[in-house]
Every structure is written in C-alpha cells, then in structure tokens.
Amino acid sequence: MLRTLAATGVAGALAGCSLDGRSGEGRDDTDTPEGTATTEPPATDAPEPYFEPGPTVRLAEVATGLVSPSALVTADDGTDRRFVLDQVGTMHVLDDDGLAEEPFLDLTDRLVAVGEGLPNWVSYDERGLLGAAFHPEFADNGRLFVRYSAPSDDEDLDHRERLSEFTADDDGDGVDPDTERVLMDLPWPRPIHQAGTVEFGPDGYLYGALGDGLSPFNGQDLTGTLKGGIFRIDVDGGSPDAPPVGRGDDGVDVDGGERPYGIPEDNPLVGTEGHDEYYAWGLRNPWKMAFSGDRLIVGDVGQAQWEEVNVIERGANYGWPLREGLHCHDPQTGTSSDEGCVDESERGEPLVDPVLEFPHFADDRAVGFAVIGGHVHTGSVSAIADSYLFGVFTSSFEAPAGRLLVADPSGSGQWPVRELQFADRDALDIQVLSLGVDGNDSYVLGTRASLAEGPLSQTGGVVYRVESA
C-alpha cells in the first residue's frame, strides 16, 4: 500500500502504485499501507485544510509496546476482551487492565520475516499477521480464522497468503498454533497488495479481502487467481479433510472439486465462469473492511491520484484498473484522468462508483496516501454517532501524520467527508494502520514511527480509544 516519494528517498507500498508498462506489472511506488515516483510538493506556510473541519474528540491511549498493530477484533464469548493483532505475528488480549504480555496466539515462527529482504521500492512491508475473525459460535466451539503471510519454497514466489482455522484452548485463554487447519494457501509473487481482513457477515459466512497482487488486471480476471476482490465462504461446510485451496501456481486448484470449506449457493459466480468464492471484484488493495449492520464497507487503496471507499454488493464490479475512484484509469500507463472513461467491463457489467473519494494531492499540499477502511460508529461518542469513521495512513513520509475522517452514510450519492479535530492534541501523531470496534467504543491503531525510521524494527505501535471531548 505504500508509495515511493523521490523527495524523501523512501520507497513503498500502502498509498498508490504506478505501472512501468510491463504488461500490467506494477511498480509499487505510491502505496504505504504504492504509484508513479513523484516528489512531494513543498508545504505552504498556512495551507487551507482540504477536508472541512469535523467534530472534536479525544484519544485515550490504551495499549503500547506493539510493532505494527494490524487489527482489533472481538469475540462473542461473554468476556470483556478485545484482541489486538501485531503484524509481526502475535495476537494479544486487551482488557481493562491493558495489553496482556503473553500472546493469545503466536505465529511468529510461521510468518515470513516481516520487514526483511524487501525490494528497495517497498518502504512498509504489507506481509504478516493481517486479519482474524472469531466464529459467531466461538464461545461454544472455540474456532477462529486468521490471515497471514507464510514463507514459500518456490524461488519465483515472494511468499504464500494463508487463511487458516485455529481452535482455542478449552478455557478460551489461548490458542495452540498446532491446531491449525489451512483453508487457503495462495501463491503471492510480491510482498504487497495482499489486503488481509476477514470478517463474518450477518449471514454467518466468512468474507475476506484479497488485493490484486500488484498486477492490476487481476481485478478484472475472475478465472485467474482470486485476487482483486472479496471472497465469501461457508466455514461450516466443505470437506474437513480436503487439502487447502491454492497450492498450485495459479492459486486456485481444487482436488476433485473438494474444498475444506463450503460455497454459499447464492455466490454470484456459482454455475458460471469464474471462481465460486468471489462475492465482488474490481478492487486494487482493499486494505481494511468491516460490516456495519448489513453493509460491508471497504477502503480501497488507490494508485495514481485517488483513494476510495466502497459499499460492497453481491456480484458488483468496482472498476479497478479501468477506474480509480470516480475517474478514468489507464492500466497501461498507470495514470488517471477524466478522459477515455468506460462505464462497464468487457463482460458488460456496470462499474460501480465509490461512495467517497479523496486525492493524494490538492494544489501544493499533500492530502493523504492510503485510505484505511473503518466502520459506522454506533457507540457512546455522540459527536460521531452514526458516522462512518475511517482513516488515512499518512499525509507525510517524513513524520507520523495520519488523519481521521468521518463521512455521513445516510444519504444517496457521495458521502460528505470531514476531518476529526482533537481536544488533546493539534494533530494525529501516528501513521494510521487500522480501526476497530468492540460494540460500543471505536479504536484507532497505528505507529508513531515514520517510514524513514524503520517502523517494523521498533515498538512504536499504539492503540487509541476514541472518546468524547
């Protein structure tokens, strides 16, 4: 998701990503949680804010000592616990006493070496422990599902992206890694654009996000690698003894048609061309997503100029790489404009517009790089009640400078966006990596380390709870 900025000498992957013309192969230099190498415009003395100022809140620090907190999730088990994932491989319980020292789950020995061996154009490693979701009946069955990046023995691959099931101990106080059952084991040629969120929907099915793998045409290829879209599976179905899907080079082979999970019969491609797992497609790097009621809302990281948020519908095509935000996109040049637009895919599907967008730059100032998807706040902070709370990874590659934004999701068309203000600080002091919710409170996860400081080599990670001013 980061991006290379020539001004800072930092390369990356979460913000945007440019194409170098090699048959759609991407060169990731505008993202951080990638794009055309560019120079950050000089800051003005007193630039006008791009976003309209929004409501004022406070941020309460509830956890530190993390490296790169990648998600905060909960389990419906009757306990007052939150679970914080650290990208480097551990999951910790967060309760009223703070962050538990001993991990609830430790997968560090099953992950790639996060932050190591990266190409010089990647400044923030997107691999690691990326997502987790507790089964709706976790209190009874102890099952949870985890997305992570595993090493590969194939020298042509950077790593493999896994979706695995684990089972908690009988007392629910921890998870033995040896209970792992791998459901998906997908080959991944590059160290970015994995996405990684997994989330159970109100229908009881597991939804998961997969980025385009830095090859933009994957977003429109429904017969290839399962990349560039949202999948939906039934973890209570399938054959328990079936091998994981995705062991082959194309990442979708299924032995004898058997899968270790079931396919919902109303998935849009069942019985037609394309992989049965797909629920929606045409996405670039859906870094974070969450259900808010029955709506699945996804932040999709942009490449050339625009970041976007989408409401996901069954069988919908969100346009990448033919569109970026509300704008035309040329996948051969990696540029966006308002000329040469197409309104439908080669299959005749309408391309669905995002519900909001914002640019990387406006006039002579940086607005932000890499949208971080959030959720609709229904908790105790009245100033942001019923607002879609989401983030921007950063607006600077020299200092921690994320943004928190709110949008009004109640109307039709584009959602109006405002920027949160803070009663206890002038600006956000972190790069925003994720947002979370525990039913009442909203949380913001990030790191105080700048990209130039080797953020994955230090414990700059922090979790904030959003509170009333």
pLDDT one-digit tens code per residue, 39-78:
455 444 556 789 999 999 999 999 999 999 999 999 999 9
Task: Give the integer Cα–Cα distance in Å for 362 and 50.
Answer: 7
Residue 1: per-residue pLDDT: 46
**pLDDT of 24 over the 70 cut:** no
Residue 23: per-residue pLDDT: 33
Q: Flag the least confident range among 255-264, 314-323, 324-333.
A: 255-264
Predicted TM-score (pTM) of the model is: 0.91
**CATH superfamily of this structure's domain 16-41+57-468:** TolB, C-terminal domain (2.120.10.30)
Domain boundaries, the chain: 16-41+57-468
pLDDT one-digit tens code per residue, 67-93:
999 999 999 999 989 999 999 999 999
